[in-house]
Amino acid sequence: MRAKHVTLLVLAAIVIASPFFFPSNYYYRVGSLIFVNGLAVTGIVILTGYAGQISLGHAGFAGIGAYACALAPIHLGLHPGLAAILGAVVSGAIAWLIGRPVLRLKGYYLAVATLGLGILVSMILANEAWLTRGPDGIEVPDLGLNDALEAIGIDLSNPQFWYFFSGLVLVLGAWVALNLHNSPTGRALRALHGSEIAARTVGIDVARLKLQAFVISAVYASLSGSLLALQNKFVTPDVAGFMHSIEMVTMAVLGGAASVLGAFFGAAILTTLPQVLTVFQEYEQIMLGLVMMLCMIFMRDGLLPSILRALRGRDK
Amino acid sequence: MSTLLEVQGLGITFGGLRAVNDVSFCVSPGEIVSVIGPNGAGKTTLFNMISGVYRPGAGSVKLDGEDVTGLDPYLLARRGLSRTFQNLQIFQTMTVLENAIAGFHLQEKGPLLADLLNLPSTRRRARAAAEGARALLDRVRLGNAAEKEASSLSYGALKRLEIARALALKPRVLLLDEPAAGCNAVETEEIDHLIAEVAASGVAILLVEHDMKMVMRISNHIVVLDHGEKIAEGKPEEVSRNPKVIEAYLGTEAAHA
Domains of chain B: which residue ranges?
5-256
How close is the nearest chain A Cα to the Cα of B234, in Å? 29
Specify if A299 maps to a domain: no
Residue A288's pLDDT is 75
Q: Residue B257 pLDDT > 60, yes or no?
A: no
Residues in A closer than 8 angstroms to B77, CB to CB, are 200-203
This prediction has a pTM of 0.91
Specify if A94 maps to a domain: yes
Q: Determine how β-strand B221-226 pairs with β-strand B229-234.
A: antiparallel
B118 touches chain A (CB under 8 A): yes
| Subunit contact B102:A201, Cβ cutoff 8 A | no
Inter-chain Cβ pairs, chain A and chain B, closer than 8 A: 108
Q: Report which of B144, B107, B108 is spatially closest to residue B126, judged by C-alpha positions.
A: B108
How close is the nearest chain A Cα to the Cα of B117, in Å? 6
CB-nearest partner of A195 from B78, B91, B118: B91
Specify if A165 maps to a domain: yes
pLDDT band at A192 (very low <50, low <70, confident <90, very high): very high
pLDDT digits (tens, 9 = 90+) for A218-275: 999 999 999 999 999 999 999 999 989 999 999 998 888 889 999 999 999 989 987 7
B89 touches chain A (CB under 8 A): yes
Report the share of chain A in percent with pLDDT over 70.
99
Task: Give φ, ψ of B184 to 5 degrees.
Answer: -80, 180
pLDDT digits (tens, 9 = 90+) for A272-299: 987 787 777 777 778 778 877 887 788 7
| Subunit contact B78:A203, Cβ cutoff 8 A | yes
Q: Are A274 and A247 in contact (CB under 8 A)?
A: no
Specify if A20 maps to a domain: no
How close is the nearest chain A Cα to the Cα of B239, in Å? 31
Distances B98 to A76, A312, B85, B113 between C-alpha atoms, Å: 48, 22, 18, 21
B130 touches chain A (CB under 8 A): no
A286 or A127, greater pLDDT = A127
Rama region for A213: left / alpha / beta (φ>0; ψ in -120 to 50; rest)? alpha
SS (H, E, C) B150-200: HHHCCHHHHHHHHHHHHHHCCCCEEEEECCCCCCCHHHHHHHHHHHHHHHH
pLDDT digits (tens, 9 = 90+) for B69-110: 989 999 999 999 999 998 899 999 899 999 999 999 999 999
The residue of chain A with its CA nearest to that of B79 is A203
Task: Give φ, ψ of B189 to 5 degrees.
Answer: -65, -40
pLDDT digits (tens, 9 = 90+) for B8-41: 999 999 988 889 999 999 999 999 999 998 888 8
Number of neighbours of residue A229 by Cβ within 10 angstroms: 30
A294 or A20, greater pLDDT = A20
Q: Residue A316 pLDDT > 50, yes or no?
A: no
B94 touches chain A (CB under 8 A): yes
The span from the CA of B120 to the CA of B126, in Å, is 10
Q: Residue A62 pLDDT > 80, yes or no?
A: yes
Q: Are B168 and A202 in contact (CB under 8 A)?
A: yes
CB-nearest partner of A198 from B89, B116, B117: B89
| Subunit contact B90:A184, Cβ cutoff 8 A | no
Rounding to the nearest 10 degrees, give the CA dihedral for residues B51, B172, B100, B139.
Answer: -130
A201 touches chain B (CB under 8 A): yes
CATH 3.40.50.300 fits domain B5-256: yes
How many angstroms from the chain centroid is the CA of residue A210?
Answer: 18
Residue B27's pLDDT is 96
Q: Choosing among A201, A215, A301, which should be mutated to test the B contact, i.e. which has the most B CBs within 10 A?
A: A201
Distance between the two ends of chain A, CA-based, in angstroms?
23
CB-nearest partner of B115 from A184, A203, A206: A184
pLDDT (mean) for A172-192:
96
| Subunit contact B94:A187, Cβ cutoff 8 A | yes
The span from the CA of B163 to the CA of B194, in Å, is 9
pLDDT digits (tens, 9 = 90+) for B206-244: 999 888 888 999 999 999 999 999 999 999 989 888 888
Q: What is the extent of the structural domain holding A217?
A: 2-15+26-239
How many domains is chain A partitioned into structurally? 1
How close is the nearest chain B Cα to the Cα of A199, in Å? 8
| Subunit contact A184:B169, Cβ cutoff 8 A | no
CB-nearest partner of B117 from A179, A197, A198: A179
| Subunit contact A201:B82, Cβ cutoff 8 A | yes
H or E stretch including A196? helix A196-201
A101 touches chain B (CB under 8 A): no
Task: Give φ, ψ of B151 to 5 degrees.
Answer: -65, -15
Q: Residue A137 pLDDT > 60, yes or no?
A: yes
How close is the nearest chain B Cα to the Cα of A187, in Å? 7
Specify if A302 maps to a domain: no
Residue A290's pLDDT is 82
Specify if A285 maps to a domain: no
pLDDT band at B252 (very low <50, low <70, confident <90, very high): low
Distances B173 to A157, A198, B81 between C-alpha atoms, Å: 66, 16, 5
